[in-house]
Amino acid sequence: MSIGFAALPRSYRTDDAVKALGEFVANTGLSVGDKLPSEHEIMAALGVGRSTVREAIRQLQALGVVETRKGLGTFLKSRVSGSTVHLPLHVDTGQLRDALQQTLEVRRGLEAEASALAATRASAEDIDRMRAALEEMERVHLDKGTAGREDLAFHLTIYDASGNPLFRQLLEQIREAFEHFFEKPFDRPDFARRSFPFHRELFEAIASGDAETARAKTFAILDIVAEDIEDMSR
């Protein structure tokens, strides 16, 4: 393709698309402010679907590399290469229990502070997005008994409402480890189900501007996760 991409193999992942976009930026000499190829051009060049391209762009947005302007396209915000655009951290352990405990320690620091900041900084639009994500999580949870991806989506709205883009950027770096919490650990769909009611209490604390209660409710959720890790790994 004239835009300089090479098609990805069938075993591609979104990470491969992110890396390909980074290499494109490095190899073509794009400058900050320049426009990237269109979604359609990237899809055709890489041989991937629209959802993969959009997820790759979303990750680059979260990392502060690009910005999408409605009706205009996607523009470069920071110079990158394929080797530096995304450096995911992996938990190097063969034991799921240990991996989840290590990730939980990171979650405690990030999520408690993000929740407290969201309580003091969230805009009306942030609260609306948070409420919509919570209601979708509750709907799926009541229907299926679990709502892993919707749970993650709710927490992402809190990260965004913190007003600090580094929270989302850090999450992108360790997203793979975080997602262990939302893939039925130990083959138990009821994992951390007891934390479900605390999510609405967390939302209410943020919506009312109560940072200390927001922090406390976050810890309450994560304490239940820690207890279930111990119980289910025995």
More confident residue, 97 or 30: 30
Question: Is residue 88 a contact partner of residue 176, using CB atoms and an 8 Å limit?
Answer: yes
Least confident residue range of 21-35, 53-67, 185-199, 215-229: 185-199
Q: Which helix (H) or strand (E) holds 67?
A: strand 66-69
Question: Is residue 215 a contact partner of residue 116, using CB atoms and an 8 Å limit?
Answer: yes
**Bridge partner residues of 171 (DSSP):** none
* pLDDT in the model for residue 125: 96
Q: Which helix (H) or strand (E) holds 73?
A: strand 73-76
More confident residue, 139 or 230: 139
Q: Which helix (H) or strand (E) holds 68?
A: strand 66-69
40-71 pLDDT tens trace: 998 888 888 888 888 888 888 877 788 999 88
CA atoms within 13 A on the CB side of 90: 5
Of 66, 90, 80, 88, which Cα lies nearest the Cα of 20? 80
Instruction: Calculate mean pLDDT across residues 114-129.
Output: 97
Of 108, 109, 122, which Cα lies nearest the Cα of 210? 122
Of 175, 188, 114, 174, which Cα lies nearest the Cα of 145? 188
CATH for 14-76 (1.10.10.10, 1.20.1050.10, 1.20.1370.20, 3.40.50.10420)? 1.10.10.10
Per the prediction, the chain carries an average pLDDT of 81
Specify the fold of 96-232.
Four Helix Bundle (Hemerythrin (Met), subunit A) (1.20.120)
Q: How confident is the model at residue 17 (pLDDT cuts 50, 70, 90)?
A: confident
| CA distance linking residue 10 with residue 215, whole number of Å | 44
Question: Is residue 206 a contact partner of residue 133, using CB atoms and an 8 Å limit?
Answer: no
Q: How confident is the model at residue 5 (pLDDT cuts 50, 70, 90)?
A: low
Domain boundaries, the chain: 14-76, 96-232
Positive or negative: CA dihedral 50, 51, 56, 58 = positive
Percent of the chain residues topping a pLDDT of 90 = 31
What burial letters (b/e) apply to 178-201, b meaning 16+ CB within 10 Å?
A: beebbeebeeeeebbeebbebbee
Instruction: Determine the 3-state secondary structure of 76 from DSSP.
Output: strand
More confident residue, 89 or 188: 188
Question: Is residue 229 a contact partner of residue 213, using CB atoms and an 8 Å limit?
Answer: no
- Which single residue is written with the structure tokens 């929740």? 115
More confident residue, 11 or 233: 233
Least confident residue range of 101-110, 142-151, 205-214: 142-151
Angle 154-156-158 (CA atoms, 0-180°, nearest 5)? 80
148-201 pLDDT tens trace: 778 888 998 999 999 998 888 777 666 655 665 555 555 566 666 788 889 999
138-154 pLDDT tens trace: 998 888 877 777 888 89
Of 29, 23, 61, which Cα lies nearest the Cα of 42? 23
